[in-house]
Chains A and B, each alone.
Chain A
């Protein structure tokens, strides 16, 4: 009964509580996008070092809706291949609509070293459609990641997306690609309750400070609550539903000025 009540209330509130962040980089399923040090969950386009901690291969789809406008939404496909030597992920994201869109394709590698730390490197190929020249322009840039586990309960992580600030230059314009430096920590109060913190700095934008708690309420259900600030304080809520090898994440955030952002991710794990 308790299980069914929990599910009912959470599902009832889910349409109002989805989350994402405003970069072209697809968000993670971690609450308030605090994925840089989240060792228990891998998401494509996020800290590639987290690849190293995954034990199983996975495949997933995710969709983010920004402010209820489909034209500025992001869809992505992600797959992880776990091997004893190095884990690899392949991700593809699409942002925009037919007249303007941006696509990122990525191949990442991550390895966990003696369960103490993990290193990751991802190659991203970004391409955008430029209507002025009626052509696509693209550029290749790396995403570096690192995570260190001090104790079983505490770890830190950092990553640099487009660390060398590569941009696309055309004859008429220069397209800036986000260059994001992130640092964060993960702390397990108990095996069920995790506290995540993160500081992001996109080189041309405000600092973003985020924090969130993820609580594994039931075996099938986890509840997430958090907030971030980058000028405005944005509350975030989310849930995770486990159905055997499938996992569904529903996150939301309510921007006080721009409105609701929502995020959904469906993932399948190939357990060994």
Chain B
């Protein structure tokens, strides 16, 4: 019967001609980044680092996963697949054997056409196992792939930081707050041979940083790595810069950890182990060496890192780690590489048939004492020069229940635990439940797990997510998250709580048209701003937003129309304020000319900061922007990609925001710009050889 269904599907699909295109990979990746990171960006102040996320997915697009031999680890590289869907794919292959064609994915439970279309650029089906021929050194030279990226950006307007402080002294360069010029520049070189060898270096200079002068004789940031995979018992050997990710992220996860997003089922982090670091974030990585050993069903990882980090060191102590990576002013330059950080750690994971269990330990040593300034909200922050943290993580499959979790202990027996379960009662419905409890005094430097806050401590909460596909072409996704902070937080001067709800309805009437409606409501507590009373008190901040997004394509044209509105209220007595944005995207790839362009025109009207709106923008390769807009104005960009030949291509982006709310300056401090326009131009040259 199953085989009969299979042949019917093949015939139907042949008629329907669902077919993945190579360029779909980048579109799928961009849509995934927009879906996951737009919401996440709203919750965090700092810039997100998507580089590794994109690089991994582009690698998968170039080297698609063979579904017939796919492992859980490989399928986890596709962030739009939920854990239940991965289990279903593996179970299907176990039950029915290798797939005959990619279209057989239609028969897998829990995969709808949207999921399959997203997967198409990243998977293949081979009937025979690829032979592993013996490798010679000259193969690495002849068949390895090299990529060189050179990027140059600058803002067209002049920030206050580049102007002389005293007008009469304009010729004196030293009177300018920023020590360097306004250009951003980076060079990245990547080499890889299959999945066996990765080699690369990165150099970067941020705008305003000195470059090739007396103060800074080379690039401000330099990074390099060498990663070897599957050499005998060694699964991975890394030298240089790398990242480590284990368990649910309570002890160690330097890469992005899945959180709350419209992918409501994707709540646990993907990818585990040691991995090369190729991004430009100047803080969140290790520098040293590491290895993972595979001994049957046991994996053992160990690493050592020794690097200088930035801190405001005074008399052998520093109050905080300076993570932005900017060294533009004398003050910022004085913080550069003033603290030595040594980290040693390891992980042991054992794989049973239905159980995976692992233990992680990390020890950190600074050459100076970390002593945060004493305030109420950081009372429990880590202080000292040594920190040891250990944790045990597990995954356990029992019938239709898939349990996961991690529990960690750190200095002074501070602790954190996260536990949850995936459940699919029938193929149309998936459910996830997740409970987390992080004690206020748990403060691990490299923790990055599911949470409302960016810091993994002082939080207790329950998350419930569900995905329902009741009718063909329709999907309903929803989550409810309730959380509580038992100690005060930054800008919240009392124990507080909050609730967060999301409902998204996806409708895919055809291959060329899809749309969704997303409703979100969040209520949390914050200090009352402009509070003049001696005793500060917290008030509820309510925010509701509704977004409608329509994607459609005709031939080589693709379009996106988005309408989004939100309402916010700070304290019961205050009025509701509104935010609105609408934008139209247009992309076109010429058939007979190697040019592609993306154009957007966006209008925004957000009356206050609480109503700010975010919109993911297409950009030059490996550059990302999810600009935040509030006030009244418009924004537009034009992004061009031109391929000179198979090896050489270039990207150019121009973006401008124009405010119409009467403001005469934009930004603050040294980033202040005169006028009501803010323009950016970016250029990237990519050479493959």
Contacts and interface: CB of A to CB of B under 8 A. Distances in A.
Closest 6 CB pairs of A and B: A203-B660, A181-B603, A165-B658, A116-B554, A160-B601, A158-B584
A26 B634 CA distance: 23
A203 B584 contact: no
A47 B584 CA distance: 14
A98 interface: no
B636 A163 contact: yes
How many A residues are at the interface, by size bracket? 20 to 34
Given A183-B582, A201-B605, 13 more contacts: A117-B559, A158-B584, A163-B634, A164-B634, A164-B656, A165-B633, A165-B634, A183-B584, A199-B582, A203-B603, A203-B632, A203-B633, A203-B660
A114 B554 contact: yes
Contacts of A204: 632, 660
B549 interface: no
A156 B561 CA distance: 10
Interface in B535-594: 552, 554-555, 557, 559, 561, 563, 582, 584, 586
B552 A148 contact: yes
A179 B677 CA distance: 15
A164 B636 contact: yes
A243 B74 CA distance: 70
A150 interface: yes
Contact of B603 (A119, A144, A156, A201): A201
Contact of A113 (B555, B561, B636): B555
Interface in A179-208: 179, 181, 183, 199, 201, 203-204
B237 to A, nearest CB: 53
B93 interface: no
B375 to A, nearest CB: 42
B99 interface: no
Contacts of B634: 160, 163-165, 179, 181, 203
Contacts of A113: 554-555, 557
A117 B559 CA distance: 10
A181 B601 contact: yes
B102 interface: no
B108 interface: no
B124 interface: no
A187 to B, nearest CB: 15
Given A114-B554, A163-B636, A164-B636, A148 B660 contact: no
Interface of A: 113-114, 116-117, 119, 144, 146, 148, 150, 156, 158, 160, 163-165, 179, 181, 183, 199, 201, 203-204
A204 B658 CA distance: 12
Contact of B601 (A150, A163, A199): A163
B578 to A, nearest CB: 10
Given A158-B584, A181-B582, A165 B555 contact: no
9 contacts: A113-B554, A114-B555, A146-B584, A156-B561, A160-B634, A163-B636, A181-B601, A203-B633, A204-B660
B468 interface: no
B574 to A, nearest CB: 22
Contacts of A199: 582
Interface string B637-662: 00000000000000000001010100
Contacts of B660: 165, 179, 203-204
Contacts of B559: 117, 146, 148
Pick from B586, B633, B634 the residue with the most CB of A within 10 Å: B634
A156 B562 CA distance: 12
A179 B582 CA distance: 15
A32 B555 CA distance: 34
How many B residues are at the interface, by size bracket? 20 to 34
A148 B557 CA distance: 11
Interface string B510-527: 000100000000000000
B554 A144 contact: no
Contacts of A150: 513, 552
A149 to B, nearest CB: 10
A113 B588 CA distance: 13
Given A148-B552, A156-B561, A203-B633, A164 B582 contact: no
Pick from A146, A150, A203, A204 the residue with the most CB of B within 10 Å: A203
Nearest to A163: B601
Nearest to A158: B584
B160 to A, nearest CB: 23
A181 B632 CA distance: 13
Contacts of A114: 554-555
A201 B634 CA distance: 11
A158 B555 contact: no
A156 B632 CA distance: 25
B557 A117 contact: yes
Nearest to B512: A116
A117 B555 CA distance: 11
Contacts of A119: 586
Given A144-B601, A146-B586, A117 B554 contact: yes
Contacts of A181: 582, 601, 603, 634
Contacts of B563: 183
Contacts of B636: 163-164
A13 to B, nearest CB: 36
A101 to B, nearest CB: 25
Pick from B513, B559, B632, B660 the residue with the most CB of A within 10 Å: B660
A164 B658 contact: yes
A246 to B, nearest CB: 35
A263 B479 CA distance: 52
Contacts of A201: 603, 605
A47 B634 CA distance: 18
Nearest to A162: B634
A238 B605 CA distance: 33
Contacts of B601: 144, 160, 163, 181
Interface in B599-654: 601, 603, 605, 632-634, 636
A208 to B, nearest CB: 13
Contacts of B632: 203-204
A156 B559 CA distance: 12
A179 B633 CA distance: 10
A204 B660 CA distance: 7
A116 B559 CA distance: 12
B442 to A, nearest CB: 48
Pick from A119, A164, A199 the residue with the most CB of B within 10 Å: A164
B151 to A, nearest CB: 26
A148 B559 CA distance: 9
A148 B552 CA distance: 9
A183 to B, nearest CB: 6
B180 to A, nearest CB: 30
B654 to A, nearest CB: 11
A182 to B, nearest CB: 10
Contacts of A160: 601, 603, 634
Nearest to B599: A144
A156 B582 CA distance: 14
B596 to A, nearest CB: 16
Nearest to B509: A150
Contacts of B656: 164
A267 B586 CA distance: 33
A162 B554 CA distance: 27
Interface in B291-330: none
Interface string B169-197: 00000000000000000000000000000
A225 B561 CA distance: 28
A7 B652 CA distance: 59
Interface in B334-365: none
B597 to A, nearest CB: 12
A60 to B, nearest CB: 28
A181 B636 CA distance: 12
Pick from B552, B582, B603 the residue with the most CB of A within 10 Å: B603
A165 B656 CA distance: 11
B561 to A, nearest CB: 7
Nearest to A119: B586
Nearest to B632: A203
